[in-house]
Structure formats: structure tokens, C-alpha cells
Structure 1
């Protein structure tokens, strides 16, 4: 998981994570990773519109956000 987070940071790529908060609540977040440390990451969270910290062990899944092409059918 940590390697994927580092790659997304290096590529300046948005990712979507499923995260378990300390209180056990599960949330889906779209983030941009800013910094990766041993146990946590700092990222801009587009849901909260603010910089947030996430524990790496609490990230259940991570997927790159792929920008959809515009639908040109009329």
C-alpha cells in the first residue's frame, strides 16, 4: 500500500481510497497525496476540501482516479 501511495504522489495522481476512521466509520475519499511517512500520509481531501492525515494501516483500498473522456454523442 505504501508503495502505491508513493507512486501516486510522484505521478501527481489523484486516488480514491476506502478508509476506516479511528471511530470505526468507513468513508470513501478522493485525495491527492502530498507526503508519505512510515505510518501515515498527508493528503488533500476533496471531500473535506482540506489537508488531512491518514494512517496507512487504515486504508482498505486504493484506486487511481481515471478522468473520463467527455461523451460526445448527441
Structure 2
């Protein structure tokens, strides 16, 4: 997981993240990671259209952004 987050910083790639908020709400976000430290990441959140911080311990999963297939 951490490798994908670091790659997002290095290559300026978007990733999908499943996140558990402090009030136990699960959300799926598309982000581009800007900074990382031992406890948190700072990322541009395309879902909320702003820069947000996320606790590493609350990230449930990360993955490549899946391409949507049109009709």
C-alpha cells in the first residue's frame, strides 16, 4: 500500500482509496498524493475538489484508478 502511495507522489498519478473517517463512515475517493509522513498523507481529493489530509491508519485500501467503459 505504501509503495502505491509513494508512486502516486513520484509519478503524479491518481489513485483510488477506500477510507474510514473518524466517525466510522466509509468512503471511496480518487486522490493524488502530495506529501506523506509516518502518520498522514496530504492529497488532492478529486471527489471533494480540495486538498485534504488522511490518516494512514484509516486507509483501508488503495489501488489504480479503473478506467470507466462507456456505451
Band the TM-score falls in, shorter-chain normalisation: 0.7 to 0.9
* Structure 2 spans left out of the alignment, 5+ residues: none
TM-score by length of 1: 0.84
Partner of 1:37: 37
1:62, distance to aligned residue in structure 2 (A): 0.4
* Structure 1 spans left out of the alignment, 5+ residues: none
TM-score by length of 2: 0.88
Runs of 4+ in 1 over 3 A off after TM superposition: 66-69
Partner of 1:63: 63
Aligned residue pair count: 71
